[in-house]
Chain A
Amino acid sequence: MKRVAILGANGQVGSEISLRLRNVEGIEVVPIARNVSGSAFLRLNGMECRHGRVSDPEAARSLIDDCDVVVNFALSNTGIPRIDRETNRQIVRSVVASAKPGAPIIFASTIMVYAPAMKFWFPDSYGMEKLIAEKIFRRLCRASHHPAFVFRLGHVMGELQNITRKIRSQIRNGRVALPHQGLRASNTVFTATVVEVITQIAKAAATPGTYDLMTVPQWTWVEVYKYYAAQLGLPLQLVHAKQVRDPTSDSYSTSGAMRRLLGYLSNHHGLTERLTFFLAFLPQSVNQRMYLRYLQTRALTEINALRQREMVDVCVDDWRELRVRTFRPMPDPVTLMMRYPLPSELEFSGSDQNGS
């Protein structure tokens, strides 16, 4: 029996991984949370948990030094960058220092290190911090002879994940708008795939290294939405590109100098009145044309507001398709989700019937 510690078991990913690992043969899962309120959900679902601060080396030792594999999903996220940086790096140092000698350690990183939302490589602070933490982790593991696994996770899909609730809600609500008609790779990974990876590492059937943890071959967004639509027994109603609101585009707004001029004039009545005096010197046909042009601009502005109101926001981020450095050939997510199911009667998991 291999004992697998899940640090940050109170989080969305940590909770679901713990629950799915629970009935895997040959694995004893040890969820670890900082305090009892963090672990309440798991405990009320019948899991024994350990409690303590893994950033504290003393506490970390008592929490994980009897575990054969350590999976680190722990993340400080106070919103104060300085505190988060120090805590997250301290967690890495503390975990590597406290793990049982030779025990594989998995560090959960993110595909944000690739800056997928950008056309060029310029990660956000979350991606950059994870990237630096990866380097610290690898260096410390090399020095302490721990097999080091870095997994850069894509969007994690699963029953307890917010993104899954959101997708289901969007499907229920009807119209779904996806960038590039949903044909671009989604950079997603299912929780069961993460469980499969942990299981293989626990069985010593994996080579340490840095991997991208995404479904291979990648699922497109349409495939992801179709998967959940089929689960819900609902049709997937994809909207046409013309019905999609593009926050970066101003194509529907009345463009150009005329709108700006009319907008400016409407706020400067003194100027408008003086211009009107001069307008009266122009021929009647020009006067009429200008008036009708004003009405046309006004109509278009109001109609555009209506069009914008009735358009659908794009449901997912328009990220780059990432080339995956795959861990190893894996079964497809549908097979894995069935292989590693959640307990059938999950308490307090919350309903996503009304999720936004």
Chain B
Amino acid sequence: MPGGSDTRLLSVGVVGASEIVSRIHLPVLTACEGIGIEYVADKNPQAARSLAGSYKLTPITVLDDLDQLPKTDVVLLAVPVTARLPYYEMFARRGTCVLAEKPLAVCIADAEHLCNLYPDYSLACGFQRRTYSAVVLARLLVAENWFGPLRSMSVSEGALTTKTGADSRFYDDAISGGGGVLMDLGCHSLDMAMYISNAIEAIPTERRFVYDGGVDREVQARLALRTANGSCDLDYLVTWLRSAKNAIELRFENCTVVLPCRPAQELEIRGTQNATFSPFLMMKQAGAATVYQAFYMEWMAFLDGVRSRQASKFNARSCLSTIRAIEALYRAGTPS
């Protein structure tokens, strides 16, 4: 949480007038202390004007010459991932710190290139689920071996998703979105699994992709997670085609710990016997219990890092193993 002694006001620019910006980032940023939002920019002048007007901010139309964007200390970069490279390069030249919406990049080579452009503290990627209370607690109990070594994990996330609304446009556009369900939704739960287990690598051993016109709609896979303490299997399902458990299970020798993919404060502990009751572990003091709290904590951690020049837990380099795993899955699952 915020606590650094440097409390200077940071100027923030917002690039991309997308749904995630209007519904999540701007409500959160307007509640953050120690910042001033300078502008909302988009290639579409109408979108920039409409969104900026709603928050009484300055709209900017992004022209071909990106250098015309006003200078700020920090930028939220929320344009489609495939269009981001010129922005990354321009902001790096300026020394502007960037919080990028996920995914950071579509491939590991690009991601590594970006990490080399910025100091660690000044480029971050929005894997805000790392702030969820239940995730913080799960990572702690794995790291400290509360229930012994982690034997295996499973992730199951998704639902029958048939939205045709504004924010569904990327579901049919694997090119600008950088991928389908795995890149859009799955990267979050995969990152949660890797973050909780502190895995440094995930190697796909089995996979099954359901493609629909080039867009992956369901991915089922088994990955070998390599951690500092050995390795464990991860059974992974992410889908837009059916209901999933929307939970992560951590299996230890004598119990299984279950946490939801959504923000929560509790973990459920199940014994090996079929008990009528499952005890819950609760993390009350650290972590987010709602989506807005998660984004707020992500922003405050990133901004604190910018002030103190210390990398936050969202720093881009910490996301590389997740990006590498996604790329490995896509490579393995490419339809012939």
A119 within 8 A of B: no
**Tier of interface size on chain A:** 10 to 19
For residues 178 through 224 of chain A, which have their beta carbon under 8 Å from a beta carbon of chain B?
none
For residues 291 through 308 of chain A, which have their beta carbon under 8 Å from a beta carbon of chain B?
292-293, 295-296, 298-300, 302-306
Complex Cα distance A52/B293, Å? 60
B35 within 8 A of A: no
For residues 22 through 59 of chain B, which have their beta carbon under 8 Å from a beta carbon of chain A?
22-24, 26-28, 30-31, 50, 53-55
Contact B292 A243 (CB under 8 A): no
Q: Which of A295, A303, A309 contacts B23 (CB 8 A)?
A: A295
For residues 59 through 104 of chain B, which have their beta carbon under 8 Å from a beta carbon of chain A?
none
Q: Which of B30, B289, B290, B296 contacts A296 (CB 8 A)?
A: B30
The CB with the most chain B CB atoms within 10 A, among A243, A288, A306, is that of A306
Smallest distance from the beta carbon of B276 to chain A beta carbons, Å?
32
Contact A292 B284 (CB under 8 A): no
Contact A289 B54 (CB under 8 A): yes
Complex Cα distance A113/B53, Å? 59
Contact A302 B292 (CB under 8 A): yes
Smallest distance from the beta carbon of A231 to chain B beta carbons, Å?
26
A251 within 8 A of B: no
| Inter-chain contacts of A303 with B (CB < 8 A) | 28, 31, 292-293, 296
| Inter-chain contacts of A304 with B (CB < 8 A) | 31
Complex Cα distance A285/B46, Å? 12
Smallest distance from the beta carbon of A250 to chain B beta carbons, Å?
16
Contact B284 A299 (CB under 8 A): no
Contact B55 A292 (CB under 8 A): yes
Contact B22 A292 (CB under 8 A): yes
A310 within 8 A of B: yes
Contact A299 B31 (CB under 8 A): yes
B140 within 8 A of A: no
Contact A310 B296 (CB under 8 A): no
Closest residue on chain B to residue A286 by CB atoms:
B54
Complex Cα distance A302/B294, Å? 10
B285 within 8 A of A: yes
Q: Which of A243, A285, A295, A302 contacts B290 (CB 8 A)?
A: A302
| Inter-chain contacts of A240 with B (CB < 8 A) | 3
Contact B297 A288 (CB under 8 A): no
Complex Cα distance A305/B290, Å? 10
Contact B27 A306 (CB under 8 A): no
| Inter-chain contacts of A288 with B (CB < 8 A) | 50, 54
| B-contact 0/1 string along A66-103, CB 8 Å cutoff | 00000000000000000000000000000000000000
B288 within 8 A of A: yes
Contact B54 A306 (CB under 8 A): no
Contact B27 A296 (CB under 8 A): yes
Complex Cα distance A322/B48, Å? 60
Interface residues contributed by chain B, number (CB under 8 Å): 23
The CB with the most chain A CB atoms within 10 A, among B24, B288, B289, B293, is that of B293
For residues 1 through 39 of chain B, which have their beta carbon under 8 Å from a beta carbon of chain A?
1, 3, 22-24, 26-28, 30-31
Smallest distance from the beta carbon of B52 to chain A beta carbons, Å?
11
| Inter-chain contacts of B292 with A (CB < 8 A) | 298-299, 302-303
For residues 273 through 328 of chain A, which have their beta carbon under 8 Å from a beta carbon of chain B?
285, 288-289, 292-293, 295-296, 298-300, 302-306, 309-310
Given contacts A305-B293, A306-B288, contact A299 B54 (CB under 8 A): no
Contact B284 A243 (CB under 8 A): no
| Inter-chain contacts of A300 with B (CB < 8 A) | 27, 30-31
Given contacts A303-B28, A303-B292, contact A309 B285 (CB under 8 A): yes
| Inter-chain contacts of A302 with B (CB < 8 A) | 290, 292-293, 296
Contact B297 A306 (CB under 8 A): yes
Complex Cα distance A19/B28, Å? 58
| Inter-chain contacts of A285 with B (CB < 8 A) | 50, 53-54
| B-contact 0/1 string along A238-250, CB 8 Å cutoff | 0010010000000
Smallest distance from the beta carbon of B126 to chain A beta carbons, Å?
16
Complex Cα distance A288/B296, Å? 23
| Inter-chain contacts of A295 with B (CB < 8 A) | 22-23, 27
Complex Cα distance A292/B3, Å? 29
Contact A306 B296 (CB under 8 A): yes
| Inter-chain contacts of B30 with A (CB < 8 A) | 296, 299-300
Contact A292 B31 (CB under 8 A): no
The CB with the most chain B CB atoms within 10 A, among A243, A288, A299, A305, is that of A299
Closest residue on chain B to residue A299 by CB atoms:
B27
| Inter-chain contacts of A289 with B (CB < 8 A) | 53-54
| Inter-chain contacts of B288 with A (CB < 8 A) | 306
Contact A292 B27 (CB under 8 A): yes
The CB with the most chain A CB atoms within 10 A, among B3, B54, B285, is that of B54
Closest residue on chain A to residue B295 by CB atoms:
A299
Closest residue on chain A to residue B33 by CB atoms:
A242
Closest residue on chain B to residue A284 by CB atoms:
B50
| Inter-chain contacts of A293 with B (CB < 8 A) | 54
For residues 293 through 320 of chain B, which have their beta carbon under 8 Å from a beta carbon of chain A?
293, 296-297
Complex Cα distance A256/B124, Å? 35
Complex Cα distance A220/B281, Å? 40
Closest residue on chain A to residue B299 by CB atoms:
A303
Contact A292 B26 (CB under 8 A): yes
Complex Cα distance A303/B31, Å? 8
Complex Cα distance A302/B32, Å? 12
The CB with the most chain A CB atoms within 10 A, among B26, B31, B55, B290, is that of B31
For residues 126 through 172 of chain A, which have their beta carbon under 8 Å from a beta carbon of chain B?
none
Q: Known pairs A288-B54, A293-B54, A310-B285. 6 more at Cβ < 8 A?
A: A240-B3, A292-B54, A295-B22, A306-B288, A309-B285, A310-B1
Q: Can you spell out 25 A-B residue pairs with CB atoms less than 8 angstroms apart? A: A285-B50, A285-B53, A285-B54, A289-B53, A292-B23, A292-B54, A295-B23, A296-B26, A296-B30, A296-B31, A298-B27, A299-B28, A299-B31, A299-B292, A300-B30, A302-B290, A302-B293, A303-B293, A303-B296, A305-B289, A305-B293, A306-B288, A306-B289, A306-B293, A309-B285
- Nearest 5 pairs between A and B by C-beta? A299-B27, A299-B292, A302-B292, A296-B27, A306-B293
